[in-house]
Amino acid sequence: MQATDTPPPRSRPWLYRLVLPVVILAIAVAGFVVLKASQPEAPAASPQERAWQVESMTIEPQELHASLTLHGEVTNPDSLTVNAPLSARVERVPVEDGQSVQSGDLLVALDERDFLPNLTRARANLADLEAQIAQARQTQRADRDALTLERRLVANAQTALNRAQDLNARNLASQSDVDNARDALTQARLALNNRQERLATFEARLEALEARADAARADVQAAERDRDRALATAPADGLVGNVAVTRGAQVSANATLLVFHPWSGFELRALIPNREVAPLLAALKDDRPPRARILSAARSQELELVRIAGEASGQGATGIFRFESPTAQLRLGEILKVALQMPTVDEAIAIPYSALYGNDHVYRIRGERLERVAVERLGEYKRDGRSMLLIRSDALAAGDRIATTQLPNAVDGLRVNSAANSGEAQQ
């Protein structure tokens, strides 16, 4: 029997290439699972609360006074406008705008030749009337003396008429003699009546002349006043304002020549908030006028609150301050920044501005926690040249500690780690 040859089996390399990656991936996954199962467990984390670092100060309420910063305008209600009394020519202007002058200094001079004719005319009219009054009085005295004589003349004329009538009745005198005697009597009576009338109307005529003389005296006084005003002098120490004329200028009556500001009239008008008006009015009523000072390194002027204007607005009322020692630096319309010393307040607390949150509360430190406390803001306070804030609160007591560091996340109950700030603490 003849043997049959069997062919060898065929190799399959594509199968190996497919199975090998799967085997490798399975081995890797199994290794990862074994490693994860054998790793140690991490301990559970316990959260801890953060403590914020702040500075603090110990407070001690005491009697203090706040300082209120105001902005006011310099005014002068006593300012004087010098006007020309009549139409005239300017002769001299020895001052300039902004010049300081003393009482009696010449400000402006008008030409007297424009005033003297009126004065001369007024004086002549007065002299004429005074002469007429003197003449009337002399005439009145003469009329009184003549009245007695004219009464005698009337009596004699009456006697002559009676005699002529008697002689005519006895045919010893003609009718013409009687008529002549009657005419003489009539003329004597007419003269007597005229004299009596002049004496009776003397007082009325004298009063009329005296009234005209009074008017003439007034004209003289007005002319003298205009002549005196032709030389305008400073009525007090002060500051020359706007000079509106120059030498040689022709000005009309009542034209403005210049403006004068007396030093004693300078004052400062500043708006005071409504909440501060009541204590200031009380201080003024008790004759304790609050004082103020200019906040400028170049000036050291002091002021005094003398009154508060009678009208107020929704923002406040106008306080009127008087300069104790006005200087040549003052100018009308100038805006000045002043610090007004408010009346003393009991139980007040001075704190740095950094201790105030919002506009009405601070944070007290109790243990390691913040506690919000509402406060009343009283104003600014100066200590050793440093600006601080003055507050008051019934909830704060001596010995309490408040935070003086501004925290953006400050709330009730926030945990803090405080350090005393000796520079801020009240002594």
In a domain, 340, yes or no: yes
Looking at residues 254-265, what average pLDDT do you find? 94
Among 246-260, 365-379, 383-397, whose mean pLDDT is lowest? Answer: 383-397
pTM of this structure: 0.62
167 and 234, same domain (yes or no): no
Confidence of residue 427 (pLDDT cuts 50, 70, 90): very low
The half-sphere exposure of 172 on its side-chain side, counting CA atoms within 13 A, is 6
C-alpha distances (whole Å) from 168 to each of 175, 181, 281, 427 are: 7, 12, 107, 136
By DSSP bridging, strand 416-420 and strand 52-58 are: parallel
Look over the chain and give the mean of its residue pLDDT values, rounded to a whole number.
84
Quick: pLDDT tens for 124-177. 999 999 898 888 888 888 878 888 888 888 888 788 878 887 777 878 778 887
305 and 415, same domain (yes or no): yes
Q: Which domain holds residue 164?
A: 116-226
In a domain, 217, yes or no: yes
Own/partner long-range contacts of 21-25 (Cβ < 8 Å, ≥24 apart): none
In a domain, 378, yes or no: yes
| CATH number assigned to the domain comprising residue 97 | 2.40.50.100
Report how many domains make up the chain: 3
96 and 240, same domain (yes or no): yes
Among 25-39, 96-110, 150-164, whose mean pLDDT is lowest? Answer: 25-39
| CATH number assigned to the domain comprising residue 323 | 2.40.30.170
In a domain, 33, yes or no: no
198 and 270, same domain (yes or no): no
In a domain, 152, yes or no: yes
Give the 3-state DSSP-derived string for 66-113, with helices as H, strands as E and coil as C: EEEEEEEEEECCCCEEEECCCCEEEEECCCCCCCEECCCCEEEEECHH
